[in-house]
Copies of this chain bind each other. A is one copy, B any other.
């Protein structure tokens, strides 16, 4: 199996395939053709075949894709079978929403706990998780070999907390602070969530609708 050189665009589509395959499994669908999958996902069949060909052969001529096998392979490629451990750093609104609503185990992650500097929150419980004092964060990361920290502290603290996480040996930071943070170590992965990117994509689509009526250049 050849996996080197999977393009970023394919990687970005894999979670979409995963959601669709989960949805199909839920509906009891066992196999699906690339053309039907294409219709349901707004992609061409050849695009789908090309995406999947990057990491092996799943389709059979005249049969289509086995939903369960394809789902398992995509999960494997995405590292969902690696049991990565996650902590939350900063229990603001976003952090609380994640603890309460995000299903870490569904994607193969182990949620290990949440840390907060505000003493009034330490010791309180959210969705079955007791908020811990940020004072013990470094030791916790080292002792339990935590892989991923969700960074949801205030913007002005984002870089300082990042530095501390890197010193503690964290391997990856999932950054919700809406500011850029620099891990300062090429081996530490930073994945940013910028809400604005998504809103601007929406506004682009709206403006295209507006202009297609009013502007002959478009």
**Interface residues, chain A, CB within 8 Å of chain B?**
1-4, 9, 11-12, 14-16, 18-19, 23, 77-80, 82, 84, 92-94, 96-98, 100-102, 107-109, 147-148, 171-172, 174, 178, 180, 187, 189, 191-210, 217-218
Q: Which residues of B contact A108 (CB under 8 A)?
A: 203
Q: Which residues of B contact A11 (CB under 8 A)?
A: 201, 204
Known: A93-B100, A203-B80. A193 touches B191 (CB 8 A): no
Q: Judging by beta carbons under 8 Å apart, are A191 and B197 in contact?
A: no
Q: Which residues of B contact A191 (CB under 8 A)?
A: 198-199, 201-202, 205
Q: Judging by beta carbons under 8 Å apart, are B195 and A98 in contact?
A: yes
Least CB separation from A211: chain B residue = B3
- How many identical chains are in the complex? 2
Q: Judging by beta carbons under 8 Å apart, are A203 and B97 in contact?
A: no
Bound-complex Cα distance A102 to B199 (A) = 11
Known: A79-B207, A94-B93, A96-B93. A202 touches B189 (CB 8 A): yes
Q: Which residues of B contact A12 (CB under 8 A)?
A: 197, 201
| Chain B nearest CB, measured from A90 CB (Å) | 11
Q: List 27 A-B contacts (CB under 8 A).
A: A3-B218, A12-B197, A12-B201, A14-B200, A14-B204, A15-B197, A19-B180, A77-B204, A78-B203, A79-B204, A79-B206, A79-B208, A79-B210, A82-B206, A93-B93, A93-B94, A93-B100, A102-B196, A109-B199, A147-B206, A171-B209, A174-B199, A189-B202, A191-B198, A191-B199, A191-B201, A193-B195
Q: Which residues of B contact A79 (CB under 8 A)?
A: 200, 203-204, 206-208, 210
| Chain B nearest CB, measured from A17 CB (Å) | 11
Q: Other CB < 8 Å A-B pairs besides A18-B200, A19-B196, 6 of them? A: A12-B201, A19-B180, A94-B97, A107-B200, A109-B203, A193-B195
